[in-house]
């Protein structure tokens, strides 16, 4: 029997309450050297749901695990059918005010870096540079046999050609770009192999049950070590891939500030948690710092 990865976390008693006071965030950014760690909650205002917030996708959807994807051809067919349909919507998402605020912080030299748990590329779309994609990117595909990388848009073209009549209506879309389809809707969807060696293709993202590449983890640890403080945006910090950086920052005596409407697994390590919507909160922070934000594209 396969062990399922941790998908949820129940807040425990004794966590400090959230606040609406943004001054600690303003103060931290005004001093510069802030490292941002962002999660799915930052992209909800772009139309991409998060996993665990109110109405989060985990209430209706169990994400694909690495173990299932690599072991079962039917699991890969189901994943690629759902992901192919979801990509059409996911790829149209645009950066929101929160992404634009983070980009503005970076342009004005207030950040030491950005680590994101998201796979949507919206930080880069807003203008942020040198973003570390902790869990990879849906914009790339990797072959599990030969290791070749290719653009997702090329795979989308090949899948369109192989499944010309595939046009089901999805019930929703998830943070990993996976659309909600029934097995009947998936049907006999055709999965295409690697164009170079015929091997199995996988999105270049870290599935649940898969480990983040060690080199990427070490790079993030160095960013934590070099930062003056850590600002967490829109992450419940349920999984260890992000929580470990919060713990390491706190252990090093660096202030941890969280902006997330719901309690997080990292709250007990934080100086404060601001329980406000991210777009409005970060726009207010940018205004108090005297930074102008570009309008919505």
User: Does 183 appear as a known binding residue?
Assistant: no
- Tell me whether residue 236 is annotated as binding: yes
Catalytic-labelled residue, pool 84, 123, 135, 269: 135
Q: Would the annotation count 221 as a binding residue?
A: no
Strand stretches in the chain, DSSP E = 34-38, 111-116, 131-133, 136-143, 149-151, 201-205, 229-233, 256-259, 272-274
117 marked among binding-site residues: yes
Known binder of ligand: residue 241? no
Residue whose C-alpha is closest to residue 57's, from 137, 175, 171, 136:
175
Is 46 assigned a ligand-binding role in the annotation?
yes
Annotation-wise, does 197 bind a ligand? yes
- Is 57 flagged in the annotation as binding? yes
242 annotated as a binding-site residue: no
Rg (the chain; Cα; Å): 19
> With the C-alpha atoms ordered 75, 76, 78, 83, is the resulting torsion angle positive or negative?
positive
* CA atoms of 28 and 17, how far apart (whole Å): 20
Structure tokens at 253: 């005596």
Instruction: Indicate if 61 belongs to the active site.
Output: no
**Rounded distance, CA 232 to CA 210, Å?**
23
Sign of CA dihedral 283, 287, 291, 293: positive
41 assigned to a ligand binding site:
yes
39 is in an annotated binding site: yes
DSSP structure class, residue 139: E
Residues annotated as binding site for NAD(+)?
39-59, 117-120, 234-236, 278
Residues annotated as binding site for Zn(2+)?
143, 146, 194, 197
Active site residues: 135
Residues annotated as binding site?
39-59, 117-120, 143, 146, 194, 197, 234-236, 278
């Amino acid at each position: 029997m396969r062990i399922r990865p941790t998908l949820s976390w129940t807040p425990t008693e004794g966590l400090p309450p959230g606040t609406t006071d943004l001054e600690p965030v303003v103060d931290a950014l005004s001093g510069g050297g802030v490292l941002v760690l962002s999660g799915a909650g930052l992209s909800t205002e772009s139309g991409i749901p998060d996993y665990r917030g109110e109405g989060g996708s985990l209430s209706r959807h169990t994400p694909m695990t690495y173990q299932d994807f690599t072991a079962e051809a039917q699991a890969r067919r189901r994943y690629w059918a759902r992901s192919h349909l979801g990509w059409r919507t996911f790829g149209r998402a645009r950066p929101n005010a929160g992404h634009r605020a983070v980009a503005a912080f970076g342009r004005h030299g207030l950040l030491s870096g950005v680590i994101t748990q998201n796979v949507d590329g919206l930080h880069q779309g807003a203008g942020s540079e040198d973003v570390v994609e902790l869990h990879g990117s849906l914009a790339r595909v990797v072959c599990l046999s030969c290791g070749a990388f290719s653009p997702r848009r090329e795979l989308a073209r090949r899948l369109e050609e192989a499944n010309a009549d595939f046009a089901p209506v999805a019930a929703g879309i998830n943070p990993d770009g996976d659309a909600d389809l029934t097995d009947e809707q998936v049907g006999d969807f055709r999965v295409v192999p690697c164009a170079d060696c015929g091997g199995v293709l996988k999105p270049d993202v870290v599935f649940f049950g898969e480990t983040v590449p060690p080199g990427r983890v070490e790079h993030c640890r160095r960013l934590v070590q070099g930062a003056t403080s850590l600002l967490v945006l829109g992450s419940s910090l349920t999984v260890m891939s992000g929580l470990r950086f919060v713990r390491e920052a706190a252990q090093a005596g660096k202030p941890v500030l969280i902006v997330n409407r719901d309690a997080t697994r990292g709250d007990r390590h934080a100086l404060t948690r601001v329980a406000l919507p991210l777009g409005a909160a970060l726009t207010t922070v940018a205004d108090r710092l005297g930074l102008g934000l570009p309008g919505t594209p």
